[in-house]
């Protein structure tokens, strides 16, 4: 654990190119896979595209909770994808589904950083993040780095 084996990363990435396999993924599985590959530095464009296509599937998109949506946003931001289409959907889900209220300090920071990395300029989302971050229950659990990330 914690070791990076390029052959294993490549094998996992290639497995994700199997559409039938990827279609079995839940929101959790998709978010965790994307997050894991982003964390390992995988930048396979075909895999990123397959993950993004799966994220836009109607049968999965509406099943994301705040945690997994934030994780997927962070992964897409890390991949450097043009995530405008996904970002608009994520912003809508976060705002209309009132998902932000369920985020802890770490998750809220991930959403804020991912929104910035994906190029969000949604003032309503920025205001909602700031409002949730200023909640004493959230703010009191923020690390110094998280406070700075949320302030930016």
Question: What is residue 23's predicted lDDT score, i.e. its pLDDT?
Answer: 92
CB 110 within 8 A of CB 69: no
Burial 11-48 (b: 16+ CB within 10 A, else e): ebbeebeeeeebeebebeebbbbbbebbeeebebeebb
pLDDT digits (tens, 9 = 90+) for 103-142: 888 888 888 888 888 888 889 988 988 888 888 888 788 7
pLDDT of residue 149: 63
Domain ranges of the chain: 6-151
pTM of the model: 0.78
Q: What is the mean pLDDT of residues 25-37?
A: 92
Q: How far apart are CA 97 and CA 60, in angstroms?
A: 15
Q: How far is CA 108 from CA 17, 81, 126, 129, in A?
A: 30, 21, 11, 7
* pLDDT tens by residue, 38-87: 888 888 889 988 998 898 887 887 788 888 888 888 898 888 776 777 88
Q: Are 67 and 103 in contact (CB under 8 A)?
A: yes
Rounded mean pLDDT of 84-109? 82
């Amino acid at each position: 654990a914690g070791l990076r084996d390029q052959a294993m990363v490549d094998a996992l990435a290639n497995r994700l190119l199997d559409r039938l396999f990827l279609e079995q993924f839940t929101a959790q599985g998709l978010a965790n896979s994307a997050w894991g590959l982003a964390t390992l530095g995988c930048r396979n464009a075909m895999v990123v595209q397959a993950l993004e296509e799966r994220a836009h599937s109607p049968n999965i998109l509406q099943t994301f909770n705040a945690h997994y949506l934030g994780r997927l946003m962070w992964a897409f931001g890390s991949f450097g994808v043009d995530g405008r289409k996904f970002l608009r959907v994520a912003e809508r889900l976060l705002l209309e589904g009132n998902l932000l209220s369920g985020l802890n300090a770490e998750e809220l920071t991930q959403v804020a950083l991912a929104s910035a990395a994906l190029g969000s300029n949604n003032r309503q989302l920025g205001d909602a993040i700031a409002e949730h971050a200023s909640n004493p229950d959230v703010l009191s659990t923020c690390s110094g780095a998280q406070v700075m990330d949320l302030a930016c």
